[in-house]
């Protein structure tokens, strides 16, 4: 049993299967909302949301790149993300992970070599935003009011 699975025993476990694969030669432009497991080996220009399913998991492989915000219960990153990342349950940053944006997390596992250019914000520090859509949760209070 991996260290990641051991840590998840206390919380909701992620789904054990990959339902959708974005291959290494694929580029998708637009937002993606999914449930279950999604593995990205290619490029995504848009936001990724794991919907409301607690067990949803996103895997961004070493050769993958995401240009957009991520909001998923369980996230494993080993590629590049230009945008904010919100892991509602667990975030694993592997050694090749590079995030250019803020990270919101409940539990965090970070390997030596992973890089973050942004803030690390524990979910207990974020005011309740349960009434907002996942991507709207990244907006600052002044942005949400339209001021």
d(CA 52, CA 127): 19
Read off the pTM: 0.76
Query: Could you read off the pLDDT tens digit of each residue along the chain, which spans 147 residues?
Result: 444 444 444 445 556 788 899 999 999 999 999 999 999 999 999 999 997 667 899 999 999 999 999 999 999 999 999 999 999 999 999 999 999 999 999 999 999 999 999 999 998 866 544 444 555 545 545 555 444
Count of Cβ atoms closer than 10 Å to residue 102 Cβ: 17
3-state secondary structure of 110: strand
Contact residues for 64 (Cβ-Cβ < 8 A; gap 6+) = 22, 24, 40, 41, 42, 43, 44, 78, 79, 80
């Amino acid at each position: 049993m991996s260290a990641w699975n051991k840590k998840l025993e206390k919380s909701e476990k992620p789904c054990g299967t990959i339902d959708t694969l974005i291959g290494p030669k694929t580029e998708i432009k637009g937002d993606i909302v999914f449930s279950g497991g999604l593995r990205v080996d290619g490029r995504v220009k848009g936001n990724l949301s794991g919907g409301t399913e607690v067990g949803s998991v996103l895997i961004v492989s070493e050769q993958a790149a995401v240009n957009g915000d991520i909001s998923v219960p369980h996230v494993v990153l080993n590629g590049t993300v230009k945008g904010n990342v919100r892991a509602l349950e667990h975030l694993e940053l592997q050694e090749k992970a590079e995030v250019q944006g803020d990270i919101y997390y409940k539990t965090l596992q970070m390997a030596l070599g992973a890089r973050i250019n942004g803030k690390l914000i524990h979910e207990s520090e974020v005011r309740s935003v349960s009434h907002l859509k996942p991507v709207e949760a990244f907006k600052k209070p002044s942005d949400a009011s339209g001021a």
